[in-house]
């Protein structure tokens, strides 16, 4: 199966959302909602209490485990069942199992390290996470928040629920838009919620017209011990100037159980250069 590394490269687009705004052609994303600040009838802006209310729906969690399916659309099309495990602020483990539950590859992010293991071809990539993020301060926690449809604040290690004063709030066509007050120079990012405080999308919009836009759309938002969590997410962007989508559907999610992630690489596997993975991402 030649697509094993391609699938993991696609999953890493979740990280490239925050680090690849310097590349390629502007993507056309009709689903993205741009923040448009609106005032109430008395001319006052929404209060920080409303920001806190939205953020309060992001509950605490320690570990997450789920089965599910992943699909890629675009120049490379692929679908597979998968297993995912995460330990809050520490690790992400994704296992691809397209044939009768047999693992063909795995992606592990732990600390500042990234491992992609292709079992079919006995090859692997081992690099720093900064390979994907391009120096942007995205952490394991940031990627977990993208997987789980949660608002985050780049460069902050605190619980975002206690950082309501770091966000401004607006409304657009019925959606509630949370946007960090301080934005990177290269791009802006923001989060769209329903009036019921359920996540709709995360968007990254570059400040340069030559860079590409990323949007993560969320659906089937469920109430859980970790707050409101989507059952499905879809990344939309462009790779090599062509439309690209990545969709993940979660099965039953289990929270706060013991998890074990194995990053051991067999001695007979060939290490691939970082540029191989970057090439699959379209950089």
DSSP states along 231-252? EEEEEEEEETTEEEEEEEEEEE
pLDDT bin (cut points 50, 70, 90) of residue 283 is very low
3-class DSSP assignment, residue 73: strand
Check if the beta carbon of residue 203 is closer than 8 Å to that of residue 183. no
| pLDDT beyond 60 at 168 | yes
| pLDDT beyond 60 at 26 | no
User: For 70, how many CA atoms within 13 A lie in the half-sphere containing its CB?
Assistant: 25
Note the pLDDT tens digit of each residue in 237-268.
Answer: 766 566 777 889 999 999 999 998 878 888 89
Please tell me the distance from the alpha carbon of residue 96 to that of residue 74, in angstroms, as a whole number.
Answer: 19
User: Residues 264, 270, 273, 275: what is their CA dihedral angle, to the nearest 10 degrees?
Assistant: -100
pLDDT bin (cut points 50, 70, 90) of residue 17 is low
Domain 4-266 CATH assignment equals 2.50.20.10: yes
- DSSP 8-state symbol, 143: H
Residues in the chain: 283
User: For 213, how many CA atoms within 13 A lie in the half-sphere containing its CB?
Assistant: 18
Note the pLDDT tens digit of each residue in 50-85.
Answer: 899 999 999 899 999 999 998 877 666 678 899 999
Nearest by Cα to 66 from 261, 257, 252: 252
């Amino acid at each position: 199966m030649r697509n094993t590394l391609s699938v993991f490269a696609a999953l890493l687009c979740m990280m490239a959302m925050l680090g690849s705004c310097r590349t390629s052609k502007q993507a056309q994303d009709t689903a993205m909602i741009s923040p448009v600040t609106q005032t109430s009838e008395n001319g006052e802006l929404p209060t920080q209490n409303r920001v806190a209310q939205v953020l309060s729906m992001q509950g605490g969690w320690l570990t997450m485990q789920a089965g599910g399916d992943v699909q890629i659309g675009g120049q490379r099309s692929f679908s597979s069942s998968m297993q995912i495990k995460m330990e809050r602020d520490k690790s992400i483990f994704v296992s691809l199992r397209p044939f009768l539950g047999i693992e063909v590859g795995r992606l592990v992010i732990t600390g500042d390290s990234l491992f992609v293991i292709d079992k079919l071809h006995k090859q692997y990539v081992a690099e720093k996470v900064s390979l994907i993020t391009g120096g942007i301060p995205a952490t394991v926690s940031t990627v977990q928040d993208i997987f789980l449809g949660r608002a985050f604040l780049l460069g902050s290690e605190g619980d975002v629920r206690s950082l309501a004063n770091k966000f401004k709030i607006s409304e657009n066509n019925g959606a509630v838009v949370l946007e960090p007050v301080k934005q990177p120079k290269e791009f802006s990012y923001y989060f769209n919620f329903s009036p019921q405080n359920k996540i709709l999308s995360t968007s990254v919009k570059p400040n340069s017209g030559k860079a590409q836009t990323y949007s993560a759309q969320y659906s089937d938002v469920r109430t859980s011990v970790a707050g409101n969590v989507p059952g499905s997410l879809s990344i939309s962007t462009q790779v090599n100037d062509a439309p690209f989508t990545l969709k993940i559907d979660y099965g039953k999610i289990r929270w706060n159980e013991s998890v074990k992630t194995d990053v051991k690489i067999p001695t007979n596997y060939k290490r691939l250069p970082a540029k191989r993975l970057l090439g699959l991402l379209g950089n």
